[in-house]
Structure 1
């Protein structure tokens, strides 16, 4: 019975063809000599071991047949239309990398030579122009020797006349070799690139190993595991085939991602990275690895919103159905919920014991911890007790931020303590008299809430954190806490998460991207008991969107200064995509009605003329009122769309989402609609109490547009009526 190894060909096969591939490979594993499979060698191939097999009359599977002393292994490369499959097979070569010893597959145009470098595709065609890498002192031989690149890739890289040419080469080269060129383009040293990709990890084998044994052992190398997977059951085969391109993350992990998913850390660890770099993938894999290491462990997997928590649960089920998803907070297994749901569960379980925590946080024992404050409570407190405030501070935005960033994390319960508490990063200087006026409003807010029998979400988080802290080791709810989208969490929520698990190895694992902070204020974790102290790494390769879409999105952030949750400057340097595509299209419209027409026509063309699945299309807008109007307008123009607020994306119709709701989603094609001045960025009236607050709000608006733009995998269209947003600026022309 032949063995089977699958190569990550990043296929996009339809459902019927995937089923046929599954049937073909299943029969191959049973009997590779069955005549119906038509497993046949090629005439004059680049690699004599290559074979093709008949999936159906129109499609051929490309395989390598590796023969050992006692076993035969097939490496499935992919399935293509008949003629394309034959040509693919003729050019394909399975080899072992001379630097790392891991298997890889490449195509050679001429079976007899490694290939010549193509002419540069850029406009830089001046006579005697020196290639970009050569100007820096690199040679093709050095790239082969130091990085293990193929000769063909090295020659192409050395033919690139400009950095832009080299980037195009890097993106066009599949897998780790393209990424190595991107890292070289960013100025990274050879030894650093090798460490980042795991190139120096040795593959151990014996001289007596036959070809099958060597392939088995080599496939365990980190870079091999990013492209190859051994299949030893029918169920595994089904999972790999059904995963396809969108689900490849379940099987094929980049060496760097695998390192962060599996390594043990002596304390809290932070993984940062831009949109689409795979932080969530690492987090889900890490949850499984922690469970495999200790099935009795209590693992909490959390994020800010319920929609994102539901996505995490779905991803974990897809990854491994054997991982138990705990049904109760504090049980063994992986418990998944958004952070406010976790807080509510702690408060509910506390019962009457919660009064000690409320006294510590609010200055009085209360039991109404499960009822939430209504909107407008801060404005009411300002109206009743804020007469002496400067006009600029008569803002609910100021008080909400002051309360969540200063008062609650410091557990201030009286005026005297507020007079002395530090207020780092608030941007509004307050003397003693100013603090007295502010405290009067806070006191009125608390008194009114006590009468109404409510507390707000920030107070709930602070009380829950205090409750767990005061109980000490008795009621810790977790052994490991994994946090996604950490940039959006507030101080009290961080204090709560810190309290859930005792400090120690692998206690907190935080995934975050400060460029995607679309809620709340800047937070520095060290102020709230979370000590990273050097345990921090950054991902830079985008797996979701194209290089063109990523550049457009990153340009939205240009000129603004961001800092991460450790208080250090955050940069977009090094962000690249592994894919190419069309340049984002900007569509100015003369009126709102004209914009509705343009969006409807674009969506209709994608579905009717280009065959794009409706659910692979999204229209993203700034707010809910615009969302409702857009959904109705599309329907009036013959395009039935689903307005998505909660829950998952359903098949059958394009989706209309707010930019906030789109967080965590991805679509093949996206329209960013209504990106006009006055809408994006929003007016931000509640943030105008200080220049610092307004600047921070503007950062969040930039981040929101960045998040929205990076939802697009392939095609991005941006529309507006009137004056376009200042955030997209002339750099997009």
Structure 2
């Protein structure tokens, strides 16, 4: 049976043609001699390997046939109308790049060079790559960039022009062009792409097949394993999706073995979640009996992980219970609940270890208003910066629960690293009185709060043993100390035990956490992704500007780096000021209506707001102004309407066009809440507010509009 090797097709297909292409490729992969396929060479073609095949009477596939490893291989270049396909087939050639050993499809009569737009600002004295110290010789002789492309790159006046050129070249060539616009050395770029000199066996087809399997080649060419995978590739809405192609740097994190916990950091859109999903699949397929946990902070993100793993490979077993072979996907709080349920009656021992007493309904959760109720009813003499919901809940989550403090005497002695307010003995006793009241009230209704549940699950696992062989964590920056204690106890220490993806710039829940305090040591096992695949360079610049001046640290208590770059270019964000709520709603509706009139699908437009109250107000206003819109909460987004959701809800999602509303606006209630916090808590709250806007801005793939209300 022939092997199909897919590429990122130059021409997108509509639904009917896509279905016919699927049928053609299925028949081709089963038997390339099937009548009706008409797999035929082209007379006087630039490459004798080129073939065309009949998709239907009008459409033809263009491909290259290679013989090697005992079977035929077809590299599918694309599908065109009949006459166009014949013309393309006559001029394309598949070869091994003589410098970097990678496959490339070139045209003997290439299309006109892409038009590089003039820079928005006055042109610099020297082109951008010249400013960076690049030379044409390095591009051609070290990286293997074709001469005509190298000339265009060396003439590009600025970063945006280099990106514009990169967008005209798929696969490894486009990735190299993006990297060239950074300060990275040529050696670092070559190493990241894992470039190497070509191997020559004397058989051109064998050499091509070897080059097609190189890590950098697999960012453009994919060997399809079986009919099911072929169907998923063809039917995907976005053919060059992450489900098939990976950057060589991403692939190494998917496949590499680690001697202990590993941390992969990176900005929004750099592919951390992609790596996690592929790694879960790789572990599951290589170790059939392995118990793998894939978890993240919120339920919505967990559902997205579950769906995307099924899209990547529906044959991967997704287990339905903790401790079973397969991949168990759940939000971290749902994971804690599952562990508590599985513990049965023995959970009482874990509750006592954490709280010093029992709970009659450990699977039920305490009301989120409980701390507020305690503060309002206790009448404490503590100053406002201590006697408030934010301080007490954070003290409880960061100090009391991780240290399993069960009484006043223990609280007097416990260390409080990273806490801003110093507490003498009298203040500690007063704080403990409020904590004791909180616990007493929760004991009456028998419940645990979310942080308590994770601590109880951790205590149970510590006493009874691990329930997983591998744990993969997404959005690690948002997890609490007791979450980390639970995950550490979930898997025994050893090779490939914990794989953590995080970005401290995206911490929008909870407080700073240092992994080493909870038994997770990552010294020497930490790497960072820097290439953003989602949003344009212009939108990314706006998002990064939001973070400027903030003191961000990562999970190892080191300053969080930036230096992110985008693989895409587009229009600059639009920033509008609104002097009233009505004006703001008018501007939002204007943006949405303009995009709809331009042909943008409504479900690819999102309006992101600060809270649920504003969400409902915006939905009502848009519908009143003739823009069909719907609110999105926990349910999946629908179709045919503009989507309106909170910035928190948009985490992990992406849209073609995004309007950010309420940017920079603080309600009187929010100002009052911040004024009650101590300096450390207030600074942390301000960092989370910046991070929330950063997260929201990086949801936009193509266009971003920002509305600031005075």
Q: In 2, Cα distance between the equivalents of 1:653 and 1:606?
A: 12
Partner of 2:522: 532
User: How big is each residue's C-alpha offset from its partner over 1:593-628, in whole Å with a ceiling of 9 and x where there is no partner?
Assistant: 343344334334433x33322222222111111111
Change (3 A) 1:527 1:125: closer
Partner of 1:572: 562
SS at match of 1:248: coil
1:40 Cα deviation (Å)? 6.8
Worse-matched range after superposition: 286-295 or 591-600: 591-600
Q: Is the 8 A contact 2:171 2:217 kept in 1?
A: no
Equivalent position to 2:591, from 592, 597, 602: 602
Q: Is the 8 A contact 1:490 1:520 kept in 2?
A: yes
Equivalent position to 1:152, from 117, 132, 148: 148
Partner of 1:206: 201
Partner of 1:364: 357
Is structure 2 residue 537 aligned with structure 1 residue 547? yes
1:487 Cα deviation (Å)? 0.7
Change (3 A) 1:583 1:287: same
SS at match of 1:509: strand
Partner of 2:102: 102
SS at match of 2:662: coil
SS at match of 2:404: coil
Is structure 2 residue 6 aligned with structure 1 residue 6? yes
Is structure 2 residue 608 aligned with structure 1 residue 620? yes
Q: Is the 8 A contact 1:120 1:160 kept in 2?
A: no
Q: In 1, Cα distance between the equivalents of 2:670 and 2:702?
A: 27
Worse-matched range after superposition: 596-605 or 117-126: 117-126
Q: In 1, Cα distance between the equivalents of 2:431 and 2:238?
A: 55
Q: In 2, Cα distance between the equivalents of 1:240 and 1:255?
A: 20
Partner of 1:673: 661
SS at match of 1:401: helix
Partner of 1:422: 415
TM-score computed with the length of structure 1 as normaliser: 0.89
Partner of 2:297: 304
Q: Is the 8 A contact 1:384 1:444 kept in 2?
A: no
Is structure 2 residue 687 aligned with structure 1 residue 691? no
Partner of 1:500: 490
Q: Where does 1:80-95 land on structure 2 (aligned, <5 Å)?
A: 92-95=92-95
Equivalent position to 1:355, from 343, 348, 354: 348
Worse-matched range after superposition: 51-60 or 557-566: 51-60
Q: In 2, Cα distance between the equivalents of 1:689 and 1:304?
A: 25
Partner of 1:122: 119
SS at match of 1:620: strand
User: How big is each residue's C-alpha offset from its partner over 1:13-62, in whole Å with a ceiling of 9 and x where there is no partner?
Assistant: 3322311322343455555796786967488x765655666656776544
Q: In 1, Cα distance between the equivalents of 2:241 and 2:52?
A: 23
Partner of 1:712: 700
1:667 Cα deviation (Å)? 1.5
Q: In 2, Cα distance between the equivalents of 1:139 and 1:531?
A: 42
Q: Is the 8 A contact 1:386 1:394 kept in 2?
A: no
Equivalent position to 1:658, from 638, 641, 646: 646
1:662 Cα deviation (Å)? 0.7
User: How big is each residue's C-alpha offset from its partner over 1:514-557, in whole Å with a ceiling of 9 and x where there is no partner?
Assistant: 11111000111111111111111111111111222222211211
Change (3 A) 1:679 1:77: farther
SS at match of 1:572: coil
Change (3 A) 1:684 1:94: farther
Partner of 1:730: none
SS at match of 1:672: strand
Q: Where does 1:142-541 land on structure 2 (aligned, <5 Å)?
A: 142-163=138-159, 165-200=161-196, 206-207=201-202, 209=203, 211-231=204-224, 233-245=226-238, 248-385=241-378, 387-471=380-464, 473=465, 476-541=466-531
Q: In 2, Cα distance between the equivalents of 1:463 and 1:21?
A: 54
SS at match of 1:275: coil
User: How big is each residue's C-alpha offset from its partner over 1:105-146, in whole Å with a ceiling of 9 and x where there is no partner?
Assistant: 3456659xxx9998884378879x444444554321122222
Change (3 A) 1:603 1:109: farther
User: How big is each residue's C-alpha offset from its partner over 1:651-705, in whole Å with a ceiling of 9 and x where there is no partner?
Assistant: 3322211111111111122222333522699547157421221111111111111
Partner of 1:728: none
SS at match of 1:647: coil
Q: Is the 8 A contact 2:116 2:161 kept in 1?
A: no
Partner of 2:63: 63
Partner of 2:76: 76
Change (3 A) 1:108 1:636: farther
Worse-matched range after superposition: 696-705 or 585-594: 585-594
Change (3 A) 1:252 1:163: closer
Q: In 1, Cα distance between the equivalents of 2:256 and 2:302?
A: 24
Change (3 A) 1:32 1:714: farther
Q: Is the 8 A contact 2:42 2:52 kept in 1?
A: yes
1:587 Cα deviation (Å)? 3.4
1:458 Cα deviation (Å)? 1.0
1:559 Cα deviation (Å)? 1.9
1:266 Cα deviation (Å)? 0.6
User: How big is each residue's C-alpha offset from its partner over 1:208-265, in whole Å with a ceiling of 9 and x where there is no partner?
Assistant: x3x3333222221111122112346443322221125266211111111111111111
Q: In 1, Cα distance between the equivalents of 2:548 and 2:526?
A: 24
Q: In 1, Cα distance between the equivalents of 2:6 and 2:195?
A: 21
SS at match of 2:393: helix
Change (3 A) 1:135 1:646: closer
Q: In 1, Cα distance between the equivalents of 2:58 and 2:592?
A: 31
Q: In 1, Cα distance between the equivalents of 2:127 and 2:2?
A: 47
Equivalent position to 1:647, from 635, 640, 644: 635
Q: Is the 8 A contact 1:117 1:159 kept in 2?
A: no
Q: In 1, Cα distance between the equivalents of 2:333 and 2:459?
A: 15
1:383 Cα deviation (Å)? 4.0
Unaligned runs of 5+ in 1: 724-733
Q: In 2, Cα distance between the equivalents of 1:576 and 1:310?
A: 29
1:716 Cα deviation (Å)? 1.7
Unaligned runs of 5+ in 2: none
TM-score computed with the length of structure 2 as normaliser: 0.92
Q: In 2, Cα distance between the equivalents of 1:544 and 1:710?
A: 8
Q: Is the 8 A contact 1:264 1:506 kept in 2?
A: yes
Q: Is the 8 A contact 1:71 1:212 kept in 2?
A: no
